[in-house]
Chains A and B, each alone.
Chain A
Amino acid sequence: EVQLVQSGAEVKEPGESLKISCKGSGYSFTNYWIGWVRQMPGKGLEWMGIIYPGDSDTRYSPSFQGQVTISADKSISTAYLQWSSLKASDTAMYYCARRGSGSEYFDSWGQGTLVSVSS
């Protein structure tokens, strides 16, 4: 069974750094792209970017380029999303999701990581 398990909820202050994780299991982690999707409170889904763990090829949405960093460690089947300096506007639920084979829809999703940023 394909599973993506994300790290737990985080409460941070503005200006702090953060790295959240997404661990894949039940499939060949290096052969499928992993994407990140933001959902702000009460709002819709926004695609942030995507990484191919096999060679760390990464694409970003222009809206998130320079705001976050996506990375992966294929040795432990884990993808990451990180911020160097959080803002209150980063408060949201963040989902990782596996890209379907040969196409850009997402066929499996993590349970989400809630990030709260407040002073």
Chain B
Amino acid sequence: DIQMTQSPSTLSASVGDRVTITCRASQSMSTWLAWYQQKPGKAPKLLIYKASSLESGVPSRFSGSGSGTEFTLTISSLQPDDSATYYCQQYNSYPLTFGGGTKVEIK
């Protein structure tokens, strides 16, 4: 199984800040990575697929990068609505696996 490790587990930032979340894979997986946003009591929502492709309707302040074993999700200017938990997911091979999540709080 490919293990996905996210860091940090929690971060607190101010509105307007640039925020970066990292996801590391236990083995190389090209760019087969997705990012999701989950708000409390809600289902996850797809933000990014294929490491850097923005899902339709997602604000352009979200971006993804990386390949191989290291990936990042960046929020260029944090907004109050971005308070949520973010998960990465690899889809290089079965079983599909998720990172442990990063909770983003607004100061």
Contacts and interface: CB of A to CB of B under 8 A. Distances in A.
Interface residues of A, number: 24
Interface in B45-61: 45-46, 49-50, 55
A47 B96 CA distance: 6
B96 to A, nearest CB: 4
Nearest to B97: A47
B43 A109 contact: yes
Contacts of A97: 43-44
A59 B91 CA distance: 14
Interface string B26-44: 0000001010101000011
A103 B49 contact: yes
For chain B, the bracket of interface size reads: 20 to 34
Nearest to A106: B46
A25 to B, nearest CB: 16
Contacts of A112: 43
B98 A105 contact: no
Interface string B86-99: 01010100111111
A101 to B, nearest CB: 11
Given A46-B98, A104-B91, A95 B49 contact: no
Interface string A95-119: 1010010011111111110000000
A75 interface: no
A95 B1 CA distance: 22
Interface in A71-115: 95, 97, 100, 103-112
11 contacts: A37-B44, A44-B87, A44-B99, A45-B44, A47-B97, A97-B43, A97-B44, A103-B32, A103-B49, A103-B50, A107-B46
Given A45-B98, A109-B44, 13 more contacts: A44-B98, A45-B36, A45-B89, A59-B94, A62-B95, A95-B44, A100-B49, A105-B49, A105-B89, A105-B91, A106-B44, A108-B46, A110-B43
